[in-house]
Amino acid sequence: MTEDSLVARVKRLQPQLLAHFMTLISENRLAHAYLFNGADGTGRQDLARLIAMRLFCQNVTPEGLPCETCSECRRIMAGDHPDVVTVVPDGQRIKVDQVRYLKSEFSKSAVEGNQKIFIVDQVDRMTTGAANSLLKFIEEPVGNTVALLLTANKNLLLPTILSRTQIVDLLRVAPTALSDELAKVGVVPSQRYLLSTLTESVATAQELIENDWLKTAQQNVGQWLQACAAGDERAFVRVQTELVPLASNRDQQGLVLDMVVQAWHDVLRQQTQVVADSELAFPQVAKVSRELAQRLSVDQLVAILTLTLATRGQLTGNLNFQGILEALTLKILGQVPR
């Protein structure tokens, strides 16, 4: 077993949950529906796949873990097992055809044995109608089935889904460990803290720094903050000219909104303590955020942060990205004294 094996990764990221689920399976106490809630990089997909492998493994190790080498384990790792049904978003959403496929599979018996497992990643990307369809099968499972629903944000799911699944919150990656890993792959110090607030996955972090996307985004959001701090109405113009062009898809739009939140969180953190530049998401405008921290009251900052935090929900509600940022900018300019 190599250090990069599936078992090794889950042991490193989620040791307690790994032991817990292996025990549940060995004692035949696995429930029929779980919701794994964990950011990218916490191993939610790996844990789900490992559970599937343990259910089908032909050569369980003395530790009670899947062997990773038998034909069943290899087929599951390759995504080629008929009784392990995996669905991931096709583009930005889990689409209608995928939901029809899921419904069809839920109604079928296992092909090769008496067990069937469903893994639905980023389940928060289902439409309300699709989620309700899924709910029906969670409530009325056919045969010996296990559904593992995966999400990075359980707050985006219907309350009915939450109430009918066992929610499993995955451990976060330790910030110091993540920072060390980012350093190993060449992320510059000025970007490490910001990246650690956006993702817990080193692979995702590497994608974000490709073609200087993160560098440009960090610079543009910092300049927008600077304009807001000065009460400069050109902050509104910067939305269209500098922030909107950063985001060509829904994922990038969400990242830009998360960065806006972190820009104002930098300000709030500096209101009560001395924070080193290296521990700020936007160190290039550290002087600006410190000055804002002195000028604004706690109530004003909390009000602004509340506005920024609401933008994610607005994006999920399919409001226009540019409109969200423009409305936010106008409200912030109304809060910042000139």
CATH of the domain at 85: 3.40.50.300
Residue position matching structure tokens 């976060």: 172
Final residue of a domain: which of 169, 196, 227? 169
Rounded Cα distance, 206 and 210, in Å: 6
Is the pLDDT at 267 greater than 70, yes or no?
yes
Residue at 1 is within a domain: no
In this structure, the answer to whether residues 188 and 149 fall within a common structural domain is: no
Instruction: Provide the angle, in degrees to the nearest 10, between the axes of the packed helices 15-26 and 44-56.
Output: 20
33: which strand partners? Answer: 147
In this structure, the answer to whether residues 194 and 329 fall within a common structural domain is: yes
Instruction: Provide the angle, in degrees to the nearest 10, between the axes of the packed helices 189-198 and 175-184.
Output: 130
pLDDT band at 154 (very low <50, low <70, confident <90, very high): confident
Calculated CA dihedral for residues 327, 329, 330, 335, nearest 10 degrees: 130
Average of per-residue pLDDT across 45-57: 95
Q: What's the structural domain count of the chain?
A: 2
In this structure, the answer to whether residues 188 and 293 fall within a common structural domain is: yes
SS3 content of the chain, % helix, strand, coil (to 5): 60, 10, 30
Instruction: Provide the angle, in degrees to the nearest 10, between the axes of the packed helices 321-335 and 213-229.
Output: 40
Q: Residues 79-126: pLDDT tens digits?
A: 999 999 998 887 667 877 787 788 788 777 777 777 899 999 988 888
CATH of the domain at 250: 1.20.272.10
Average of per-residue pLDDT across 7-21: 90
Q: Residues 181-210: pLDDT tens digits?
A: 888 888 999 999 898 888 878 888 889 999
Amino acid making up residue 199: T
Lowest mean pLDDT among 174-188, 247-261, 305-319: 174-188
Higher pLDDT, 229 or 42: 229
Instruction: For residue 167, give both structure tokens.
Output: 């929610």
Is the pLDDT at 63 greater than 90, yes or no?
yes
Does the pTM exceed 0.95? no
Residue 3: per-residue pLDDT:
44
Helix/strand/coil for 268: helix
Burial group, residue 108, by CB count within 10 angstroms (0-12, 13-18, 19+): middle
Residue 176: per-residue pLDDT:
66
Domain limits at 224? 175-335
The residues, any chain, with a CB within 8 Å of residue 190's CB and separated by 6 or more, are 218, 278, 283, 284
Residue 175: per-residue pLDDT:
63
In this structure, the answer to whether residues 200 and 152 fall within a common structural domain is: no
In this structure, the answer to whether residues 99 and 200 fall within a common structural domain is: no
Instruction: For residue 132, give both structure tokens.
Output: 């309700």
